[in-house]
Amino acid sequence: MKRPLPPTNVEFVTDLMEFSAHGALIQAFVLQALTYYAQKVAAADPEALDTGMVSGHAWHGCALEIQRELKQRFGS
C-alpha cells in the first residue's frame, strides 16, 4: 500500500492558517513571525547568509520581498 504524500509547504501553511486550535490568532502569529524573521535576514550581510544549499544574496532578496509585500499590505 502506498503511503500518502506529505502536504506541500503551501498546503501545510494553509492548513496551519485555517485550522488552528487558536482560531484566527494563528494568522497574526504567522504574519508576525514573517515580519520578525524578514527583518533579521534583511539586516544581515547577504554573504554571511550563504549556505551549501542557498545563496545568501537570494535569501536576503527573499527577506526584502517579504518586507515589501507586508508593507504594501499593512502599511507599516
Residue 44 lies in a domain: yes
Which residues constitute the domain of residue 61? 11-17+28-74
Q: How many CA atoms lie within 13 A of 48 on its CB side?
A: 6
Q: What pLDDT does 62 receive?
A: 98
Q: What pLDDT does 76 receive?
A: 64
Tally of domains within the chain: 1
Q: Which amino acid is at 76?
A: S
> pLDDT (tens digit, 9 = 90+) per residue, 50-66?
999 999 999 999 999 99
Residue 3 lies in a domain: no
For residues 13 and 17, give the distance between their C-alpha atoms in angstroms, rounded to a whole number: 6
Closest residue by Cα to residue 15 from 47, 62, 3, 6: 6
pTM of the model: 0.86
Q: What pLDDT does 72 receive?
A: 96
